[in-house]
Structure 1
Amino acid sequence: MSLISPACRDALQNWLASQSALKGAAENTLTAYRSDVGEFLSFMTLHFSSPQGLGALQKITIGDMRAWMAETRKAGTGARSLARKLSAVKSFYRWLADREGFEPSAVLMARAPKFQKKLPRPLAAEAAKAVLDTVELQSTTDWVAARDVAVVTLLYGCGLRISEALGLKGSDAPIADVLRITGKGGKERVVPVIRAARDAVDRYLTLCPYPQGAHSPLFYGVRGGALNPRLIQSVMARTRAQLGLPATATPHALRHSFATHLLEAGGDLRSIQELLGHASLSTTQAYTAVDTAHLMDVYNNAHPKA
């Protein structure tokens, strides 16, 4: 970032502020944007052998864009990550062009490399149940074991992101029939809570040695602070090792499993979109491919002519 001119640094900061204020971008998203666009601006400084002011940014050509993408790939960045970086740069340029009154076509015309879109990797229903049954064996401390079961049950039973589950406060307890969740981009959704999840949280609250104030975290770490998501990731790693599950059996895979199993049971895509808090139905449609793969397996295994 030290290579970037003050004018470009200010423009980047103002764009990030607009993403936060107008679009409700999450902090992790803003951090990624800052890194991606900052790297692009730093490259252009080196590419032209001088700091690039706002005027110089308006003159970037498609050849300059190709040079940046080639150098980024040469540094080991994969096609998917480069596509993400290019998307951030284009978003920044749309904002900058609107503000400064220039035509950003050279940047917007740059094409990301093609890549195979990864489908969600859900667990089979039996494997998901085995995870719920095995998580509590990863700790010899009763309240910690109950805590881990409660978190994992919320991920699978309600389709929560790990950040959403660990963002719950004492004011959310006791868990009601529905939870009001604020997800990515500040988007709010209402999620039904199955009895197994409510019971798991109730058991954890009974055993937890720390007080539950309205503004305190619902899930505590052993030292009394908010539970770190890495601890749940570690619990899942030990659980999948014990069960012989693949490395794709992560906390986030439980959210994918929630959606896929609902779809397999006849849930409609639009309702699942609402439950997951996806801004676009196209994001949820990835589960259609997963479900289709499941149906093809059933077909190939059961059809008399297969």
Structure 2
Amino acid sequence: MPEAASIALPVKADVQSAFSAWTTHLAAERRLSPKSVEAYGRDVRFFLTFLQTHLGGPASLDDLKSLGPRDVRAFLARRRSEGLQSRSIMRALAAARSFSRFLERSGKGSASALTAIRAPKIARSLPKPLAASSARKIVDAETRAGEEREPWVLARDAAVLALLYGCGLRIAEALSLTRAEAPIGATARLTVTGKGNKMRGVPVIPAVAKAVEVYIALCPWTLMADEPLFRGTKGGPLSPRIVQRAMQEMRGALGLPESATPHALRHSFATHLLARGGDLRSIQELLGHASLSTTQIYTEVDSARLIAVHAAAHPRA
């Protein structure tokens, strides 16, 4: 049973039972990651806790069915007053709607008012990739050669960052690799398990394979086949925070903006492939996007870059 399902809520027993069944459904049938289940559950707990005060007592399934648009607007206004931005409010509404749809499919009614309220508009922001020259410096271990760090640590960080830029991996995907999955030697591809446990094949260029090989050769820990490939200084699994900190330090040294994060290397992977004539559908598959529309945002990034270059260079701009 997901951890979110075991938390007592300020609701009647019928809602508590339905909430537990819903979180189990998210994990077992929709196959969402534990973090996604936790986030959905947290948003719905906020909603149900709000209803306790709003309705003057713990909510029952009948209470949920009788909610009106005014009640939902009151919830969204409360979350806004607590400092949430539009994106977080939209996520909270989406979670509550998911719970409502589950109730309807389970024959336990629904909170139909949730679907009658329009989600807040979100200003669409474009990904912020690095310049190709900056990305190459980030993934080069020599960039940090002057730091007082053990060589294997510098090699480790360079290998992880190389996987993000050279293969378009998410940081969680890179850190979940085992020693047996290390892309070295004759291994020319990676099989990556991404969001929703969806698997995809990713080719590995020689520069990335070499970075991983150097790290393995220098790593002082015994790397068993079924254990994490990337290790912390005490031998445990490498924390994403360590990679983020390494990126932060290089960002300062290279004079890069705060948008230069590990995830920006994944954006850079997609943008640079597209700029060199990469096929959008192929890039979608490499990134593991479920929808092509998610990948199409990189065409806007490339267009924005061309417009900026034109504006800066054209004599009549």
Shorter-normalised TM-score: what interval?
Answer: over 0.9
Q: Distance in 2 between matches of 1:172 and 1:229?
A: 19
> SS where residue 181 of structure 1 aligns?
strand
Return the letter of the residue paired with 1:72.
R
Deviations 1:202-243 (A, max 9, x none): 000001111121111100111011101100000001110111
Matches for 1:43-54 after TM superposition, within 5 Å: 43-54=50-61
- Structure 1 contact 161–255 (Cα < 8 Å) conserved: yes
Deviations 1:242-282 (A, max 9, x none): 11111111101100110011111111211111000011111
Q: Alignment RMSD, CA only?
A: 1.5
* Among 262, 268, 281, the residue aligned to 1:257: 268
- Sequence identity percentage: 48
Shift, 1:298, TM fit: 2.8
Are 2:123 and 1:116 aligned?
yes
Q: Distance in 1 between matches of 2:240 and 2:167?
A: 17
- Structure 2 contact 193–199 (Cα < 8 Å) conserved: yes
Give the corresponding residue for 2:181.
172
Q: Distance in 1 between matches of 2:157 and 2:108?
A: 53
Are 2:172 and 1:163 aligned?
yes
Deviations 1:154-211 (A, max 9, x none): 1100000000000000111353210000000000000011111100000000011111
* Among 211, 215, 221, the residue aligned to 2:232: 221
> SS where residue 139 of structure 2 aligns?
helix
> SS where residue 23 of structure 1 aligns?
coil
> SS where residue 10 of structure 2 aligns?
coil
Shift, 1:2, TM fit: 3.8
Distance 1:79 1:136, change over 3 A: farther
- Structure 1 contact 136–149 (Cα < 8 Å) conserved: no
Shift, 1:21, TM fit: 1.5
Are 2:28 and 1:17 aligned?
no
Give the corresponding residue for 1:287.
298
Give the corresponding residue for 1:89.
96
Are 2:112 and 1:128 aligned?
no
- Structure 2 contact 61–109 (Cα < 8 Å) conserved: no
Distance 1:252 1:280, change over 3 A: same
Are 2:193 and 1:186 aligned?
no
Q: Distance in 1 between matches of 2:78 and 2:316?
A: 52
Give the paired residue count: 306
Are 2:217 and 1:210 aligned?
no
Return the letter of the residue paired with 2:134.
A
Q: Distance in 2 between matches of 1:137 and 1:198?
A: 24
- Structure 1 contact 138–235 (Cα < 8 Å) conserved: no
Shift, 1:304, TM fit: 5.1
